[in-house]
């Protein structure tokens, strides 16, 4: 009898152990982390200053895709976030830039602007936003549809578009930072009033506390070997200190600009980190019996990158500090949701180019391109060629938009007009490398592996009549207002990190070409749900 009892106990323990080791049929939570303007090489260049618990953990204990690229232009924040979460390019999802000229309205519009909704959480217009211009569903939409609305989707960022586009059309909430009051707001598209926990967070006025802080280096200056010295001429004096070297304080910043400037410091990332923590806990994400989704987009990296450039001590220290925040999030998810119970991915919406003056110092062909000079030149050409400057409706985002009403009234052939502008660009501006007219682009269709990134970024309904690209190393701007920028087809703008970690994610490093449009279908396949409606990507991780 004792032997039978002992045998039964052993069987029970073995069965229990087996059940305990069996992975859950689905993760409790999916976490999407997008780091605005993060180049892939930052993982390696700053690696010696990273801890073992942040970026390195994701790289060594998850799937690290070392050759992930954007497969379209323009490489901006709006199109980037839309492409990550829809699994497609602007050709299908419609977010062709951050701002673009609307041919029907005959004015420039913002990618998430919506004057039919109102701000919730403040008395200003910074919440007049929604995802109405997004033409495809997102992976977050598909999760909501697959669970009959039971999954909860929360999206947070400093930038409005970086919160709104990941959440898709069905998010429970998207929250973003309001630089006019220092709190997080939303729009009436999502709700009529802020939840109690958001109101409580805003009452803490963390932004005000950060503004009394000083941005100091995490390590002694000599450890920042990749980007020394700390006094490059092209860096911007954001803090009115008559210097661009550490430390940086808000002491000389006008009071009415401090809340806005907070975004251009690592304190902006820290503020978002604290808000994301509160969202996880107070919304009970990953603890409700359904797979939930938390989208976190760190935007301060972009503001800092524009002001100091990728070869600055400021950007290196920003990533050292972000590494600590990533480590903090992983520990939080392990504690709240359970290690192995969530999927986390980390990527970027685009990279960034080196400062042209920095490249010139290294004898690399480069330069700043004056967009206004191009615009003025195109207007003069319009007047000279067609005797009507209004033939040109708009020039923006490396596109020429023509005025069809004027062209028809002049009885001109639209294709001939497009060709004339393309020919003028070719013979006038030697720093332009590629030029396509609308007629050519309309004969193609975007696809995952196309080498024509302009075609993949072209939207038949929204894009212009002539599209072009600059030569490598040439950046639009003057250098007076920013140290670096992005938007091109080149690897410095398209090569981004892509890391998957957690539930059913193997530990491996993959160096084959993949694209950010593959993220959404990978998640869809892992979750066993339908991919977004405009998807052109493929799953990257084999489902167990």
> 29-360+489-527: CATH homologous superfamily?
Alkaline Phosphatase, subunit A (3.40.720.10)
Query: Domain 367-472 class?
Result: alpha beta
pLDDT score recorded for residue 23: 54
Tokens 């032997």 — which residue?
A: 3
Q: Which regions of the chain carry the CATH code 3.30.1360.150?
A: 367-472
Predicted confidence at residue 479, as pLDDT, reads 72
What pLDDT was estimated at residue 24?
73
- What is the per-residue pLDDT across 39-91, written as a single tens digit (0 to 9) for each? 999 999 999 999 999 999 999 999 999 999 999 999 999 999 999 999 999 99
Burial class (CB in 10 A: 0-12, 13-18, 19+), 454: buried
Q: Which residues contact 92 (CB under 8 A, 6 or more apart)?
A: 86, 135, 136, 446, 459, 534, 536
> Residues in the chain with pLDDT < 50?
1-22
Omega before 416 cis (within 30°)? no
pLDDT at res. 6? 41
Instruction: Judge whether 267 and 275 are in contact, CB under 8 Å.
Output: no
CA dist 102 → 28, 32, 109, 441, 456 (Å)? 41, 31, 6, 19, 19
Task: Report, as residue numbers or ranges, the catalytic residues.
Answer: 77
pLDDT value at position 421? 99
Every domain of the chain with CATH number 3.40.720.10 lies at 29-360+489-527
Give the pTM: 0.95
**pLDDT single digits (tens) 249-291:** 999 999 999 999 999 999 999 999 999 999 999 999 999 999 9
3-class secondary-structure state, position 13 = helix
What's the Cα-to-Cα distance from 140 to each of 32, 95, 394, 519, rounded to whole Å? Answer: 10, 17, 35, 12
Residues 6+ apart with CB under 8 A from 522: 500, 537, 539, 540, 541
CA separation for the pair 179, 160 (Å, rounded): 11
């Amino acid at each position: 009898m004792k032997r039978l009892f002992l045998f039964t106990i052993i069987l029970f323990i073995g069965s229990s152990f087996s059940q305990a080791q069996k992975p859950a049929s689905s993760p409790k939570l999916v976490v999407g982390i997008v780091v605005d303007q993060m180049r892939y090489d930052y993982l390696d260049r700053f690696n010696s200053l990273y801890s073992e618990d942040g970026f390195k953990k994701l790289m060594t204990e998850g799937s690290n895709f070392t050759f992930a690229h954007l497969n379209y232009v323009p490489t901006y924040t709006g199109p980037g976030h839309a492409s990550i979460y829809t699994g497609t390019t602007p050709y299908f999802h419609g977010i062709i830039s951050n701002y673009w000229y609307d041919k029907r309205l005959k004015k420039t519009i913002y990618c998430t602007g919506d004057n039919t909704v109102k701000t919730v959480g403040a008395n200003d217009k910074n919440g007049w936003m929604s995802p109405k211009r997004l033409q495809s569903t997102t992976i977050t939409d598909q999760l909501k549809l697959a669970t009959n609305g039971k999954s909860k989707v929360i999206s947070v960022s400093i930038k409005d578009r970086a919160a709104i586009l990941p959440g898709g059309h069905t998010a429970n909430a998207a929250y973003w930072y309001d630089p006019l009051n220092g709190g997080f707001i939303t729009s009436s598209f999502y709700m009529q009033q802020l939840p109690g926990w958001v109101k409580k967070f805003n009452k803490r006025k963390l932004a005000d506390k950060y503004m009394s802080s000083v941005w100091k280096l995490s390590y002694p200056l000599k450890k920042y070997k990749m980007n020394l010295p700390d006094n490059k001429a092209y860096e911007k004096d954001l803090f009115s200190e008559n210097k661009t070297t550490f430390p940086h304080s808000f002491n000389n910043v006008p009071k009415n600009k401090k809340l806005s400037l907070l975004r251009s410091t690592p304190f902006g990332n820290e503020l978002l980190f604290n808000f994301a923590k509160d969202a996880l806990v107070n919304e009970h994400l990953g603890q409700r019996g359904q797979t939930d989704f938390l989208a976190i987009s760190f935007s301060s990296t972009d503001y800092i990158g524009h002001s100091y450039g990728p070869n600055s001590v400021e950007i290196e220290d920003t990533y050292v500090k972000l590494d600590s925040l990533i480590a903090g999030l992983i520990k939080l998810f392990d504690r709240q949701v359970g290690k192995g119970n969530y999927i986390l991915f980390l990527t970027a919406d685009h990279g960034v180019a080196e400062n042209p003056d920095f490249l010139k110092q290294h004898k690399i062909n480069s330069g700043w391109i004056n967009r206004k000079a191009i615009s003025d030149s195109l207007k003069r050409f319009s007047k000279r060629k067609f005797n009507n400057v209004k033939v040109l409706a708009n020039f923006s985002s490396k596109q020429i938009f023509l005025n069809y009403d004027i062209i028809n009234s002049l009885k001109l052939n639209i294709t001939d007009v497009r060709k004339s502008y393309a020919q003028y660009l070719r013979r006038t501006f030697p720093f332009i490398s590629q030029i396509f007219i609308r007629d050519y682009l309309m004969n193609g269709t975007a696809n995952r592996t196309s080498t024509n990134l302009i075609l993949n970024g072209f939207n038949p309904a929204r894009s212009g009549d002539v599209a072009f690209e600059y030569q490598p190393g040439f950046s639009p701007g003057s250098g007076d207002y920013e140290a670096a920028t992005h938007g091109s087809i080149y690897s410095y703008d398209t090569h981004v990190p892509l890391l998957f970690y957690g539930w059913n994610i193997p530990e491996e490093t993959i160096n084959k070409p993949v694209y950010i449009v593959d993220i959404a279908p990978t998640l869809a396949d892992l979750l066993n749900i339908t991919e977004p409606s405009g998807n052109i990507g493929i799953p990257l991780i084999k489902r167990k």
